[in-house]
Amino acid sequence: MSVVSAPSAARHRIAVAGASGRMGHMLIEALRASDDCVLAGALDLPSSPTIGNDASAFLGHASGVPVTAELRVGLADAAVLIDFTRPEGTLAHLEVCRELGVKAVVGTTGFSDAQKARIAEIAQDIAIVMAPNMSVGVNVTLRLLEMAARALSTGYDIEIIEAHHRHKVDAPSGTALKMGEVIAEALGRDLRSCAVYAREGVTGERDPSSIGFSTIRGGDIVGDHTVLFAGTGERIEITHRSASRATYAQGSLRAVRFLASRERGLFDMFDVLGLR
């Protein structure tokens, strides 16, 4: 196994949470290929069989960064943490990031309102980019949905269909919920009161003000999202399909670069991409 030293010109030192998972591997691979970002820490659960191993071993190269379950050890040499794990774990990580002055890019989904409020509090002291989907294409799609919702505000029923791999634990996906939030806001509605997440039995006619969600789980689907605007005599579908987690990794690195000039505050990918 060859040892590759970190580029001397690297400006962004990154720790990766969930380093041994699918997304963690994709992030580490993206960091290895980056000209201005370098892996500085790798975190995983104590039960992970990779604890103590080199974080880049799966690539056939050595980064010199071992996978650790010790949060402060993994963050000791990092300026930014990238976290795509679980809500409880992410919150615990952010508390320590706050203590150490480490910024964060959060792609974790499934947060409760109370957990989101806690993250906003933490962001008063450190800079955080948090988004349910780091893909550049998805965030452009969100803007398109906002435009479509305003133009199709009457006479069109709105349904959001999403599909992910069998291992995903939350439903609907964070991206689907974000799509619903963007559409509802554009229509002057509250998603909490107009969302329909399940239909079974005799449901009656569809409420024209509702926004429906359908969830598919199976196989190794990375992430498919379609928003259907169904009118009389026509249907409009806006779809985004992810073929690889590489898009999430590249978006995360763009978020890291955005944070370089921010000391504190809570941001999202619209901020990163200048879509406000």
Active site residue 168: yes
Please give the CATH superfamily to which domain 136-242 belongs: Dihydrodipicolinate Reductase; domain 2 (3.30.360.10)
- Give residue-wise pLDDT tens across range 60-78: 999 999 999 999 999 999 9
Q: 166 near 176, Cβ under 8 Å?
A: no
Say if residue 4's pLDDT is above 70. no
Q: Which of 93, 164, 178, 225 is an active site residue?
A: 164
* Contact criterion met (CB below 8 Å) for 56 and 23: no
Which token pair is 111? 């947060």
Q: 2-130+245-273 with 136-242: one CATH topology?
A: no
Burial class (CB in 10 A: 0-12, 13-18, 19+), 122: middle
Hey, what amino acid is at 182? V
Mean of pLDDT values over 142-152: 97
164 has catalytic annotation: yes
Strand 157-164 versus strand 223-230 pairing type: antiparallel
The strand pairing partners of 104, in sequence order, are 81, 128
Residue 8, pLDDT above cutoff 60: no
| Average of per-residue pLDDT across 151-172 | 96
Identify which of 13, 3, 16 has the alpha carbon closest to the alpha carbon of residue 68.
Answer: 16
Per-residue b or e along 7-46, where b marks 16 or more CB atoms closer than 10 Å to that residue's CB = eeebebbbbbbbbbbebbbbbbbbbbebeebbbbbbbbbe
**Which residue ranges make up each domain of the chain?**
2-130+245-273, 136-242
User: Which CATH number among 3.40.190.10, 3.40.50.720, 3.40.50.2000, 3.60.21.10 corresponds to the domain 2-130+245-273?
Assistant: 3.40.50.720
Does residue 89 surpass a pLDDT of 90? yes
**C-alpha to C-alpha distance for 92 and 96, rounded to whole angstroms:** 7
At residue 250, the pLDDT reads 96
